[in-house]
Amino acid sequence: MFDTPTLGIIPSTRAARVHLFRHGEVETGPLRICRGQADVPLSARGREQSATVARRFLERHGTPDRVLSSDLSRCTYLAGQFGREAELVPGFREQDMGQWEGRTWDDLTRDDGRAVTAYWDNYVHGRPTGGETWGEAAARVVATWEALAPLEGRVVIVTHVGPIRALLCHWLGLDPGQALRFAPGYATETRAIDADAGVVIEGVGLE
């Protein structure tokens, strides 16, 4: 993985290639719905996207050494395409949106408007009714990541946009409040190298 001059100066040669995939498009229809940890299914297009990105990965890299996935079905569908049994990791779920899950944002704004306003006014510490704050969700994801160390080989992680944002902020030393600066689309790949000296980002939202 490293050239000869680099090998001469780095303190350790342990490194893992990490491929973070966001799940494919989900069934929501034309309305903006608060999903959170609700186990919503993939759309037909989402299933197509999953098959396509997995096929491309396998053509380029072969079977990964390890596949980890959120245990929600929109992620496990893609995780099952990589030719290796996936390890289900609930810590890589999306943010828990509590009583808001499955409802449209229009309905939430009408029925729980004060809490919705407070949430968006303080994105890191605002709490969806009955759910977890973004700060809590990001901390959960980072703790889940750190519990995996040390990783080796080529590792696929299938998850949601929130955990990808949380990991990017963690790897880059950014406050969790910067998470919305990252917007990887459905069925895209965020690629990184994890080494003892830190994580190097190779690309975000790659198709």
**pLDDT given at position 197:** 81
What is the dihedral angle through the alpha carbons of 48, 205, 100, 123, rounded to the nearest 10 degrees? 180
Characterize the bridge pairing of strands 198-206 and 189-195. antiparallel
Region 13-206: CATH code? 3.40.50.1240
pLDDT at position 12, please?
A: 61
Name, in order, each residue with C-beta under 8 angstroms of 41's C-beta and a sequence gap of 6 or more: 26, 27, 73, 74
Strand blocks (E) in the chain: 15-22, 33-34, 66-69, 87-88, 103-104, 153-159, 189-195, 198-206
Q: What is the share, in percent, of the chain residues with pLDDT greater than 70? A: 93
Residue carrying structure tokens 């949601």:
160
Q: Are 36 and 94 in contact (CB under 8 A)?
A: yes
Q: Where are the domains of the chain?
A: 13-206
Rounded distance, CA 157 to CA 194, Å? 13
Alpha-carbon distance 70 to 115, whole Å?
Answer: 28
Per the model's pLDDT, the better-predicted residue between 155 and 28 turns out to be 155
Render pLDDT for 29-88 as a digit per residue (tens, 0 to 9).
667 899 999 999 999 999 999 999 999 999 999 999 999 999 999 999 999 999 999 999
In this model, does residue 11 exceed pLDDT 90? no
